[in-house]
Structure 1
Amino acid sequence: MPAAKRPAPDAETRDDAEPMRAGIQSVEVGFELLEALSQAPGALMLRDLAAAARMSAAKAHRYLVSFQRMGLVMQDPVSTRYDLGPAALRIGLASLSRIDAVKLARERIDALLLETGHTLAIAVWGNQGPTMVHWTEAPQTVPVTLRLGDVMPLLTSATGRCFAAFMGHEGRDAQRIAPMLRDELARLKKLPRNGGLPPVDVPQTLQDAQAVLEETRRHGLARVVHSLLPGVGGFCAPVFDAQGRLALGLVVLGSVATLDTDWHGAPATALLRCARQLSADLGHSPAVRSP
């Protein structure tokens, strides 16, 4: 008995079955307008929006009419300027709510490891302070007795300095971090000194600590050399979320014999670039002031 014939696939089924189709060019072109609006500091006139999207005003207007109907764009009736609409906001908030910052950071670690050649880590703020939640060792690793779940000191680790500088600058977080800094300074004063000299790269007073944190904010990332462990240096770069809050810290560390500890050296530059891209991916804009 001959096999029954399969019904011919309809046009939609054939379209879905074709891998890696070229896509719909008009959608991609129209997205340039939405991208231009998302990058602008505020609403734009039609001519400025069209120029930013690299298209004629007439062409841009046709797309904007459709985007307005969909709620992706709105136009102020008085100024006639265009801005993102409520539908764009809903899509953006839904996307942000589904982003796992640590997962996103872990996806970048392998590439960053190849670029820096040194051990990398991810830290978040836990119940007791900045806490290590991910650790990836370089092939030629420096012996560091740190474990996942360890809480890092605020003044003798790059991780701690990063969180103290960018979380404790003002507001409620500053009120929480200030007593932690005082307690840590008190503990540091009780440590034995080598030959009567204070530890290297370790603040001794509250004024010293504030100067270190201000230097951290000025450079956009934290650095330690010898202070956590003798012969070890490291950097920690902040990653911010869409509200400008510190989401996590990206850490690179290694032996000072092999790790370039210059503020503008290759490891610091690569770490800061990765952290800024992660911040952008989380919805952070430099225009949003980080606390």
Structure 2
Amino acid sequence: MAGKVKERAGIQSVEVGFGLLEVLSKAQGPLMLRDLAAAAGMSAAKAHRYLVSFQRLALVVQDGASTRYDLGPAALKLGLASLSRLDAVKLARECVGQLIEQVGHTLAIAVWGNHGPTIVHWEETPQAVTVNLRLGDVMPLLSSATGRCFAAFVSRDAIAPLLKEEVARAQRQGRKDMPTSLAEARALLDEVRQRGMARVVDTLLPGIVGFCAPVFDADGHIALGIVALGPTGTFDSAWGGAVEKPLRAAARQLSSDLGWRGA
């Protein structure tokens, strides 16, 4: 058919056999042959033939006592090699274009820098309200969605001095929209962890709503945050709304791409 892209030829048996490896990668532990075969959608006899070859390649190992199968050392080496080549910011930048079409608001990427959460990428929609932020800006921990997100998920030792400083400043300024004690700050960050992401409304910038979703690496550490910003009049600030839901989904997918296997 004219205009149809011709699919490149491959080796079907390799693709079929990979199904067994995929099942093992998602399993909570080693599997019996019958369970592994059933999950991969093939007979036990067929699965066994693939597993014999995978064992020879050290992609799969079988426990002699339980006879259960699990991923082998060669699979681990491949996984680690792939992870070592991943660039979290590059992956995030590649997904921002599609995500901005979904949410219709300004998006940014932040990482943990020497002085705190730092903006490293910024994309605005044509209808975006101008905000006074620049690449390289370090975001405050308690008054920005970005800061709250990182403060909730980086190590407590890393944020302790900054947290004390910001709480003291909020006390001096008499802020009503920010924690003015360490106990209040910890309660706020506990809520961020329970929600799985951070939100601020009219806190850092008047009339602006912000969400920040964490992206985790294979070790469960926060690799970056994806930020969405917009004016209160047009930005859906609801949990599970038109901005939060796709933002959360994108962060989860990126985390999965980086090897994270959290809940």
TM-score interval, smaller chain: over 0.9
Q: Are 2:74 and 1:92 equivalent residues in the alignment?
A: no
> Which residue number corresponds to residue 184 of structure 1?
166
Q: Distance in 2 between the 1:250 and 1:22 partners? A: 38
Q: Distance in 1 between the 2:233 and 2:40 partners? A: 49
Note the C-alpha offset of 1:205. Answer: 1.9
Q: Are 2:53 and 1:66 equivalent residues in the alignment?
A: yes
> Which residue number corresponds to residue 250 of structure 2?
274
| Structure 1 residues 17-96: aligned runs within 5 Å | 20-96=7-83
> Which residue number corresponds to residue 245 of structure 1?
221
- Which runs of structure 1 show a deviation greater than 3 angstroms over 4 or more consecutive aligned residues? none
Structure 2: which amino acid aligns with 1:119?
T
Please give the per-residue CA displacement for 1:200-258, whole angstroms capped at 9, x wherever unaligned: x3222222211211111111100000111110011000000001011000000110111
Q: Are 2:125 and 1:160 equivalent residues in the alignment?
A: no
Which structure has the larger Rg over C-alpha atoms? Answer: 1
> Which residue number corresponds to residue 145 of structure 1?
132
Structure 1: which amino acid aligns with 2:26?
Q
Which residue of 123, 126, 134 corresponds with 2:110? 123
Q: Distance in 1 between the 2:77 and 2:183 partners? A: 45
Q: Distance in 2 between the 1:142 and 1:270 partners? A: 21
SS in 2 for 1:266: coil
SS in 1 for 2:51: helix
Please give the per-residue CA displacement for 1:23-74, whole angstroms capped at 9, x wherever unaligned: 1111110000000000001111101111111111111000000000111101
Q: Are 2:241 and 1:259 equivalent residues in the alignment?
A: no
Q: State the TM-score, normalizing by the size of structure 2.
A: 0.95
> Which residue number corresponds to residue 3 of structure 2?
none
Q: Percent identity?
A: 66
Q: Distance in 1 between the 2:197 and 2:93 partners? A: 19
SS in 1 for 2:203: coil
| Structure 1 residues 100-119: aligned runs within 5 Å | 100-119=87-106
Structure 1: which amino acid aligns with 2:152?
A
Note the C-alpha offset of 1:80. Answer: 0.6
Structure 2: which amino acid aligns with 1:180?
L
SS in 2 for 1:218: helix
Q: Note the aligned Cα RMSD (angstroms).
A: 1.1
Q: Distance in 2 between the 1:140 and 1:181 partners? A: 35
SS in 2 for 1:148: coil
> Which residue number corresponds to residue 215 of structure 1?
191
Give the number of equivalent residue pairs.
258
SS in 1 for 2:243: helix
Q: Distance in 2 between the 1:176 and 1:116 partners? A: 32
SS in 2 for 1:68: helix
Q: State the TM-score, normalizing by the size of structure 1.
A: 0.86
Please give the per-residue CA displacement for 1:2-33, whole angstroms capped at 9, x wherever unaligned: xxxxxxxxxxxxxxxxx742311111100000
Structure 1: which amino acid aligns with 2:128?
T
Structure 2: which amino acid aligns with 1:147?
R
SS in 2 for 1:22: coil
Structure 1: which amino acid aligns with 2:136?
G
